[in-house]
Structure 1
Amino acid sequence: MTRNHSIPGWGNAFVLLSAMLLCGLLSVHFGKELQWDLVSYHYYNPYALFHHRLNFDYWPAGYIHIFFNPAMDFLGYFLIRSFSPWWAEFILGAIHGINFWLIFYLSYFILSLAQEKFKMIIAFILALVGMYGPVSFSEIGSFMGDNLISIFVLLSILLQVMLFDRYYANQKNFLRLSIASGLLLGMAVGLKLTAAYFVLGMLVAYLFLPIPYVVRFKMIFVWSVALGFGFLLVYGYWMIFLWQKYHNPFFPLLNGIFHSPYFPAYNWYDNQFFPRNTLQTFFYPFYFSINGELVSDYFFMDFRFSVIYILVFLAGLCWLWRSLRQTISKKNDIDRWFIVFFITSYVIWQCYFSNIRYLVTLEMLAPLMIYLLLNYIIHNPYYRLGIMGVLFYVIFVAVWPIYRERVHFFGKDYFNVTLPGFAYQYQDAMVLTVTSNFAGKFANETEILPILAAKKALRSPAVLLQTYVIPYFPPKTRFVGVTIMDDHYAISLPAKKLIAEHQGHFYLLTSRRNMPSFLRFAQVLGLQKNGACGKVLSDRLRLPHMRNSAVLLCSVGRN
């Protein structure tokens, strides 16, 4: 017989609905998000899929994000297209509030196993501190996708914990939970490939469970099959498309394996956030806790991972001391599984990503990890609760959330784009624009022209195309991206061919500061300014750093 670890039905409903309501209101309070990621690909990717533009517009391979699976952005795209901006933000924030409930429920369940006296109150505190992290809090109502993927991962972890509890209780009907857990985690990885490190974290944690090898193998096998099915369920269609068009099912990633001719033959990854030296490698949490720009595009401050680092060290010393004295107390096996999963997942994250956004699920679970480590180190419940209270207070008040680009103007249209009147004069025009280049310098079918772009053009959000404006052009307007390498314009041979074969009108789209150099680039292609230039207006210009960053659309034609 097993204890009842469930929260009463009314309590569950109250916590869930309250969290969703509060997070929905917080999302609206934070304002309408206009982050670079949203305006550059999170909105455009599903739009391109649903409006048959995947083989219509052309983007250079260095524009990495444009080739990501758009399934993760289906929800955000639907909200923006179907609701007013206010309601879109509220609904998305409310969905993100599910994370609070999952942290609360998981914490309550594990605290029940530990027979914690104040489990309801502590679980609430763990959920509160978990959601008030630099990423999780700032991304309430964000279209970045991190707070959405975390729902799948947290639910998968919860089902794993329930699976182990059921196995230890009666060894019956536990494989159903394994299937559900694997399915959810597979879907999370399919929606966002960076969630793959949780798979390895769970597999390693399985090795530390004291259960028969045959049962463990059965659990892992069933879980793995379900995980693969969940992955293919949301990513399979995109793998087929990428394979058929680029001969790489993960294009442009893993091209060192698949050798697509459209991208350099190496495995691209974002290396800007990795530790810079040996000391940082072994003590990274102490560095990025006070200087978040080491692992993020924006500053933040948060001490939760530094606290965990210290507690893991102290727990190791306690284990060694108790081993020598032969006084090791038997702790809950599920606690052990969770701690190993957390540590393993963090190590893999630091080795392969070191981007704080991809750590958001562990950020949410960090307070629970702190509680479990304190529970192992300190046996006296009152001392333990006192120290836990001090640590959580320090963590909570010291958090400096990450800045997100938001405006407090909603209006009727989400982006509120206004194009110059002449943009509608030609229904089948071609727009040349400058795109990001995350691949660096490469020569695959790419010609680097002797035309310098504006200084630091690749770092300017105004110079680079934000694809969110594309739906506001006539539907037959075709977009072709060119990029920048070594501060010079670069154009691929396929793009050059498309331009040469186009019989209609042309436009150039970039910032006012970059337009003179872009016009010189167009002249090399045989295009000359033959009409007006007009401003492209949108709510992005309401952002403080964008108010003086006018975006121009200029009419050009053949010489």
Structure 2
Amino acid sequence: MTGREGLFEGSRGFSWLPLLLSLAFGAGVSLALGQDCNWDLRNYHFYNVHAWLGDRYRFDIAPAQRQTFLSPLLDLPFYGLIQVLNDWPRLVAALLGAWQGLNYYVLWRIARLLLVVAGAPGLSLAAAGLATLVGATGAALLPVVGSTMNDAPATTLVLAALFLLLRDAKNGDAGSSRAVWLAGGLVGLAVGLKLTIALYAVAVAAALAGFYGLRRFPAQAWRFCLAAGLGLLVTDGFFLWKMWRLFGNPFFPFYNNLFHSPYAAPLPFDDPRFLPAGLWQALAYPFVWATRLTTVVSEPPLRDPRFAVVLVIGLLAGCRWLVARRSAISRPWLGLVVFWVVAYAFWLKKFAILRYLAGLELLTGVLLCAGCLVLFQSPRRALWAMACLAALLLATTRYPDWGRLPFGDTVMDARVPALPPESTVFLLNDEGLAYVIPFFDPRVRFVALQNNLIKPGQDNLLRRQALSLVRHLPEPLFAIDSRTGDPPVEQTLREHGLERLDDTCAPIRYNGRETTLRLCQVRRATGTDGF
């Protein structure tokens, strides 16, 4: 082992330098992007911990929309940091970014494990570096580093599970079950923290056939699924039980077409906005967001050729391998390819939201580098081709803007008008509003009248409770809405027999900036009793 390589990999496969570089990179990206102010934070990431700690699920009525009822566990670190470091926004951003930078370290370990050029440790090191660079700079994960969107922490656990299985398969421990138990537990923990990670659980389970062979697959899959179930219970069991006890649906309100909780409409409440319309569009999808700035897989526009290039290089390398057939594909690579293909197909069918592909995006560099090594007989030429691809990808990627602010004096600071204790505030549209709730007196109740969960014309318990409060609560009553005279807001007021007292309106300021929100007193319009 050369001295240079030893800086990055110790005698037992570990060195502090890659870990420290990964943490520093995550912190640096977070600081460069600025203070997090994404829509999900304004809607539910801050409020949900407040609701959980204060047991407000029946007191408030869905103020953070259907996201009100997502587990608060991944948001606890951010909420805890705010309690002690709210006056240190840059430090909070750096800590969140460093924590999420663990993804890059695990990615590095996977790249070092798989991208080995025989007899050339320097080339192996370069290959791992290029693969890590490409994977770490994609449009799915990099823009959310240091944010509360929580894709990064859950992805770290999935990558760690995948690394354990890859290492086990490479070591030839086909009969080993320890790695499978550990990997299943990690994936289960991740799914419990963020339910959309379930796509990776399915993919890892399928990849076990590649890692261990079809003969051992049933036993290993059984171990994996049991461990994953236990991991899920550790991180989400408490919350699933709470939702079942309160609303009769452990995933409330999601999958209510299956559980039929009386508190919400019998709908799945999934998000089909980005799903491809058919097979041909699905096949073309990665080339759409590779070639132009688009919102086809994301709310804010982006461009990223990584997935399209992986598919092209993978197809060419696969054809080259079939023609050459010098050797059978190794179990680690077979398992990795199965994992990537299954996860991508699941994502395309269920989500088609690029953020949820962060785990696969991180692996794009590893797959591209492997493809280049197959296509070029000379490892040096392969790495030069990989370097050119890396430069091309970095030059053409355009990142989505999820909402960042210049750093202010505090992380979270909403200046809200003082209200009488035990007041009721109605929320009138589906903007992200719930971030202001923790700054009010905890005796103030917040009731949604119109959002992505509660809508006029529905007949369920949440809707009926909201209507009962509108009709029977003693005045004064208040409402938060947009200052722009949004027509849907005016319609919501009319539909509920309410009218705004415009001379009572006061702006709500966020971190010293005047937002588009205002709080106004409302009253029941004349002649609306029993509407």
TM-score, structure 1 normalization = 0.84
**Is 1:483–1:490's contact at 8 Å kept on the other side of the alignment?**
no
Of 143, 148, 171, 1:138 maps to: 143
C-alpha offsets along residues 261-290 of structure 1, whole Å, 9 cap, x if unaligned? Answer: 333333332111122454322221111213
Cα distance in 1 for partners of 2:13, 2:347 equals 37
1:83-162 aligned at under 5 Å gives the runs 83=85, 84-112=88-116, 117=121, 118-162=123-167
Cα distance in 1 for partners of 2:284, 2:206 equals 22
Cα distance in 1 for partners of 2:118, 2:60 equals 57
SS of match in other structure, 1:503: coil
Aligned to 1:457: none
Q: Does 1:39 align with 2:36?
A: no
Cα distance in 1 for partners of 2:120, 2:332 equals 15
Query: Structure 1 285/520 Cα, relative in aligned 2: closer, same or farther at 3 Å?
Result: closer
Aligned to 2:75: 73
Amino acid paired to 1:304: R
Aligned to 1:63: 65
1:298-337 aligned at under 5 Å gives the runs 298-322=300-324, 327-337=325-335
Cα distance in 2 for partners of 1:207, 1:10 equals 26
Aligned to 1:428: 422
Amino acid paired to 1:101: Y
Cα distance in 1 for partners of 2:309, 2:74 equals 33
Aligned to 1:419: 416
**Is 2:206–2:342's contact at 8 Å kept on the other side of the alignment?**
yes
Amino acid paired to 1:509: I
C-alpha offsets along residues 288-312 of structure 1, whole Å, 9 cap, x if unaligned? Answer: 2133411001111111111111122
**Is 2:304–2:397's contact at 8 Å kept on the other side of the alignment?**
yes
Cα distance in 1 for partners of 2:157, 2:83 equals 24
Amino acid paired to 1:200: V
C-alpha offsets along residues 66-99 of structure 1, whole Å, 9 cap, x if unaligned? Answer: 2212212112222222213222111001111111
Aligned to 1:478: 445
Unaligned runs of 5+ in 1: 437-463, 542-546
Query: Structure 1 516/428 Cα, relative in aligned 2: closer, same or farther at 3 Å?
Result: farther
Aligned to 1:505: 476
Cα distance in 2 for partners of 1:115, 1:336 equals 23
Amino acid paired to 1:555: Q
Cα distance in 1 for partners of 2:489, 2:22 equals 49
SS of match in other structure, 2:450: strand
Cα distance in 2 for partners of 1:272, 1:116 equals 48
Cα distance in 1 for partners of 2:280, 2:491 equals 48
Cα distance in 2 for partners of 1:52, 1:210 equals 46
Amino acid paired to 2:161: S
**Is 2:289–2:296's contact at 8 Å kept on the other side of the alignment?**
yes
Deviation of 1:406 (Å): 1.0
Aligned to 1:453: none
Aligned to 1:235: 236
Of 49, 53, 57, 1:54 maps to: 57
1:378-397 aligned at under 5 Å gives the runs 378-397=376-395
Of 23, 30, 35, 2:33 maps to: 30
SS of match in other structure, 2:415: coil
Deviation of 1:249 (Å): 1.3
**Is 1:204–1:344's contact at 8 Å kept on the other side of the alignment?**
yes
**Is 2:205–2:225's contact at 8 Å kept on the other side of the alignment?**
no
Cα distance in 2 for partners of 1:9, 1:149 equals 26
Deviation of 1:6 (Å): 5.9
Amino acid paired to 2:57: L
Deviation of 1:520 (Å): 7.4
1:107-506 aligned at under 5 Å gives the runs 107-112=111-116, 117=121, 118-166=123-171, 168=172, 174-209=176-211, 211=213, 213=215, 215-289=216-290, 290-322=292-324, 327-411=325-409, 413-420=410-417, 423-424=418-419, 426-436=420-430, 464-483=431-450, 492-503=463-474, 505-506=476-477
Cα distance in 2 for partners of 1:23, 1:263 equals 40
* Most deviating of 378-387 and 389-398: 378-387
Deviation of 1:29 (Å): 2.5
**Is 1:34–1:540's contact at 8 Å kept on the other side of the alignment?**
no
SS of match in other structure, 1:207: helix
Aligned to 1:538: 510
Cα distance in 2 for partners of 1:249, 1:519 equals 35
Deviation of 1:350 (Å): 0.9
Deviation of 1:135 (Å): 2.2
Q: Does 1:550 align with 2:516?
A: yes
Cα distance in 1 for partners of 2:186, 2:359 equals 14
Deviation of 1:526 (Å): 5.7
Deviation of 1:233 (Å): 0.9
SS of match in other structure, 1:161: helix
SS of match in other structure, 2:200: helix
Query: Structure 1 47/9 Cα, relative in aligned 2: closer, same or farther at 3 Å?
Result: farther
User: Cα RMSD (Å) of the superposition?
Assistant: 2.8
**Is 1:434–1:481's contact at 8 Å kept on the other side of the alignment?**
yes
Cα distance in 2 for partners of 1:116, 1:252 equals 55
**Is 1:465–1:509's contact at 8 Å kept on the other side of the alignment?**
no
SS of match in other structure, 2:273: coil
Cα distance in 2 for partners of 1:217, 1:234 equals 26
Cα distance in 2 for partners of 1:475, 1:224 equals 42
Amino acid paired to 2:379: P
Amino acid paired to 2:422: D
Query: Structure 1 378/521 Cα, relative in aligned 2: closer, same or farther at 3 Å?
Result: closer
Over the matched positions of the two proteins, sequence identity in percent amounts to 26
Cα distance in 1 for partners of 2:228, 2:412 equals 37
* Most deviating of 383-392 and 225-234: 383-392
SS of match in other structure, 2:143: coil
**Segments of 4+ moved more than 6 angstroms:** none
Aligned to 1:15: 18
